[in-house]
Structure 1
């Protein structure tokens, strides 16, 4: 990761198709377009790639989560279960629709622990969002089985795992819908941008309308603005240049994953010499996108010693226990109930009653696991010299 490493003539060609028309907006201006509708084409190709019927392009992976939640009818009074190891966007979107995030432990997949999931389900649980973190599969089949038992829809957050599969089926296609991010550090990127995929035509219709101020997009004599609206919406439209880049990047996705797998395999070979090291549990190694390389030490003390050695050689790894973007105990704004709202919403209701309080020690199993886990992002073009030096640093850290 990320896809900008291999920007080339393909992206330039797609972008020039747009610039030659002068139309950056994804709708209307039919006479000027000369048949060029890049966002629509990107949606169709992405859906076909994933093996599902529908795709809705939006402005970001965060927007994709909100649009999907709104289409599923999630709102105030509802609880949505997700995991305590994810990017902040997952739970920000839950708050954004008025619902309350509930967090589960993660297991050695570094994704949602199905056993803890079932413990967290209540009568108010209206959606479950497992996250395919760091490019690899959650125990999605087990999660779907539990969700079906309680008739709860599953929304797969596949932001970091575009192109990933489980037993030959693409991630994002197991639940009612799946969301993706194409931001600047994703394996395939449009700079900013996101996608929701689904096999449900009615859900797609609702997402299409909601992401464009509620417009129903029916052809009418008055042109844009004359459409009907079933409900209020908002603006999460992807623009044509993003769609153009997405088309070119999607065509390269499989080859990007192949390159990442090759680089990850070499890093794993280097790390395997560390005493007591183990590796993240993968549900399907063939379906891993290899976006990240994860290795787990015996305890947090060994983890610190190893990473100190790696840092001394200029190859320090990410320790998620120290990272404030992705792990529950480090989300000080969540734990502290910090908000710009004068009434304290979403942590406090307009009437002054506290809606939710988060305990920083609520996920002890995850905290133990994260405290001894190190991660490297895997690039597409790491270079043999860089890989060799990283492996030497890992081998040296074996004595730490």
Structure 2
């Protein structure tokens, strides 16, 4: 699953080229760097890989969401619809930009349910963020059509789906922009880091300047342009070492996906032996980056029995209904409105009025799906020994249901 499984000489070569220049900053120092611009090159190559015009590298997938939302003009008073099954970063970024996350159901794609999305749209809805969870596409064409109908832009959170596509088109390229994460356990990794891709050159210019303290990024390759600033910004710059690793990992991405698809197929064949098992809806099997194998049991009780048996066999599966990082009812800090701000922001407005209250029972359709769900991460390298261990654990699960 994570790109660190195949770190090798390619990453070392790219890193040494940076160290030889002595320049770790992505801008300036043209004489010392001798034409080596790893982050800029990474942006260009990643955008081309996604089939779009522009790429903006940043410090993390979370930063990518914040920078993209800032450039889209999202702020206090705005509502942003996303899904109740995602990593906490999605809604953290919404709250940090000052907007209010509105959570919608998922369907058996384990991604945003278009029908519930449309029900959640109000006059205050200013953005839709579908998340391509666990490497497989959301119903992005339907979601984009809904957004277009209501005049609401779509930002694709593609943090977990680098290398994935739908009907031959890369995920992240359907909406106004798409964001990616390259953290330590992502399909391709730079340790920390993220990327935003878009075809909108004005949006790109705003993101570029916002992520670098609002510096004027006039046309000046490798530099920062003039010193005039159109708006305030912050610091989300990627450093050259991350860009270097990203270039090596990007060159391996198609091979990573191919290996995961092969390994997922082998694992799926074993899991299919479990009585009553069904599998996640994948809209495009060829486009799945295959970083996870998600499967359902007929009910919560059977899912728990299978989970226990698999764990006893040394091949435990993830139960996301119990996961505190990715599932709405388990986000106790969100549900409690917990914050370090003495004012209570972002859950409380200045003056003490509550902005939003979240109910753990608000997504019953998602709960019914998640209660039956078990998931295996799919490695890039899958040994016969590990495959045999999974097979033996599956046999324990079959016995537990008999």
CA RMSD of aligned residues (A): 1.1
TM-score (norm 1): 0.98
Query: Following superposition, which runs of at least 4 residues in structure 1 exceed 3 angstroms of deviation?
Result: 223-226
**Ranges in structure 1 where 5+ consecutive residues have no aligned partner:** none
Q: Is the 8 A contact 1:177 1:196 kept in 2?
A: yes
Three-state SS of the structure 2 residue aligned to 1:398 is helix
Q: Which residue of 2 aligns with 1:274?
A: 274
Structure 2 distance, partners of 1:162, 1:177, is 14
Tell me the SS of whatever aligns to 2:399.
coil
Residue 177 of structure 1 corresponds to 177
Report Cα offsets for 1:230-276 as digits up to 9, x if no partner: 00000000000000000000000000001111111111101101111
User: How many Å separate the matches in 2 of 1:389 and 1:53?
Assistant: 45
Q: Which residue of 1 aligns with 2:134?
A: 134
CA–CA separation in structure 2 for the residues paired with 1:393 and 1:312: 7
Distance 1:224 1:210, change over 3 A: closer
> Contact (CA 8 Å) 1:270, 1:395: kept in 2 or not?
no
Contact 1:271–1:395, Cα closer than 8 Å, also in 2: no
Aligned to 2:319: 319
Aligned pairs for 1:1-150 within 5 A: 1-150=1-150
1:239 corresponds to:
239
Superposed CA deviations along residues 17-50 of structure 1, whole A, max 9, x for unmatched, are 0000000000000110110000000000000111
**Equivalent in the alignment of 1:368:** 368
The reply on whether 1:258 has 2:258 as its aligned counterpart is yes
Asked if the contact 2:218–2:224 (Cα under 8 Å) also holds between the matched residues in 1, the reply is no
Deviations 1:103-160 (A, max 9, x none): 0000000000000000000000000000000000000000011111100000000000
* Preserved contact between residue 95 and residue 346 of structure 1 (Cα < 8 Å): yes
Equivalenced residues, count: 398
User: 1 CA distance for matches of 2:84 and 2:217?
Assistant: 38
1:291 corresponds to which residue?
Answer: 291
The alpha-carbon deviation at position 391 of structure 1 amounts to 2.1
Structure 1 Cα separation of the partners of residues 161 and 224 of structure 2: 36
Q: CA deviation at 1:323?
A: 0.3
Alignment deviations for residues 145-189 of structure 1 (CA, whole Å, 9 cap, x no partner) = 111110000000000000100000000000000000000000100
CA distance in 2, matches of 1:155, 1:391: 40
Q: Give the gaps of 5 or more residues in structure 2.
A: none
